[in-house]
Structure 1
C-alpha cells in the first residue's frame, strides 16, 4: 500500500476534522522484543502514524535523548535488516498504521539502495525521511524510492526561504515535515505563533499535509501545534521515557504499557486541539 496508506490516514484525519499524532521511537530500543511491544501498542494508544528511527552511529540532527536511544539499540545488536524484520512482524497484526523510517543515508547505502527499497516495501514500510540527503542528491534514493511507491518526506525548517522552498518540495510525497526549531531534536520548545505562520506559508506552496516536529514534549504543546498543523510529531519525550523505564529495569509489556500510557495523553491533547482553537 505504501504511499496510499499515508494518504488514507491523512484523508481520514481531515474527515474527522482533527490533527494527527505522529510518534517517533527508535527501532530496537531498548531491545528488539521490547521495541516490538512498544510499536504494537502505539496505534491503540492514539498514534496515527509511526516514525521508526534507524539507529546510526553519527546521528547529527538528533539530541541527547534520541542519540542515547540509538546507542541502546546498537549495543543490543540492532541492524537495519532487523529493523525491517521488526516492521514485518508488526504488519502481521496491523495492516493500516503508516510506518515511516527516519534516519541517515549511510546504513541504507551500506545495505544497497535497490535491495533496501525492495526489502522495505516487502516489510510494509510506507515512506522514508533521510535527513542528510539534500534535494541535489535525489537520484541516490529519493527518485528510486518514489519509483517503488515509497513516500519520500522532506524536512522544511525556519531557514528554508522562499527561493529554496520549491526545490525542497519538488519531489516530496506523503507529507511535509516542518522542523519547528533551529537545532537538534528535543533542544527547545517551539514558538506556536511562528509555527502557525510557517504552516500557513508552506500550505501556500503545497497541497501535502504538514506535520510539525522537534521540541514537542507535552500534551499541551502537541495541542497547540495541532491547532494549525495537520499533525504533531513527538519523539524525544517518548524515547526519554523508554530510556528511564529501561534504567528502572522495565522491559517487554511492562515498559510498553508505561510508554503507551504517555502516548495516550499526547493523543488526547492532539484530539482536543481544534476544539480548543474553536
Structure 2
C-alpha cells in the first residue's frame, strides 16, 4: 500500500515554544486519523504543518508519491466569514476551481458535479440561498460539498462537527465513511471522543509535551488521556466505565 504522507521525527511548535518532539508516523490510504488534545496542545500547529503553512521545528514531512496537487481542507467555522455575499452553490463550486480554472465558466458536466456534491451534502434544495441565511449545520454541509468537489486524496477537517446537530453530524460522518471506502486519507481535528472511537481508525493525541499515535483503542486509554492533560483522572474513569457498561448492555441484547 502506497503511503500518502510520512511524518519523520518531527518537533512541533514555534521558536521558543516546543509542543512535542520525535513525532513519527505514516498516513495511509483509507486511514481516518483523529487529532486530539487540550487547547494549546498543538492541533492547529499540526494542521498548519500538514498544509505547508508552517515548517516543523525539526524533522520533516515527506510525500512518497509527491505532495498532492490538492489537499481537501475544511477550516474551523470561526475562521469563515458567513456574511460574504455568495450563494450556496457558488461557495461549493469553489472546490472545483482546481479542475475548472477560476476564470472558466462551469460547463454542463461541471454543473452536474456541483449539483451532485450539494445533493450528497444535503443542501441542493437551498442551492440558491445566500450563505448569510444559513444555520450552522447548513453552512457546514455546504463547506463539505466544497471539499467533495476538491476530489483530493488527503482531506483535513478542522473541528468539522462544531455547531452542528446530531443529525447533521451523522450525515457528515457518512460522507467521511465514503471517503475512507474510496481509499482517501482523512485527518479530523475533533473534541468528541464518542465519534472518534466509532468512526476513526487511528488517533494522534497531543499534550503534556508528548505526542502519541496509533490505533484508536491503543492511544485513547485512560492513562494517556490523563498523562497528556486531555482530561482528569475522574473524567477518564467515568468515560471508560460508561463505555464498558454500554458495551456490556449491547452484548446482552445480541
Q: TM-score range by the shorter chain?
A: 0.3 to 0.5
Question: Which structure dedicates a bigger proportion of its chain to strand?
Answer: 2
- TM-score (ref. length: structure 2): 0.36
Bigger Rg, structure 1 or 2 = 2
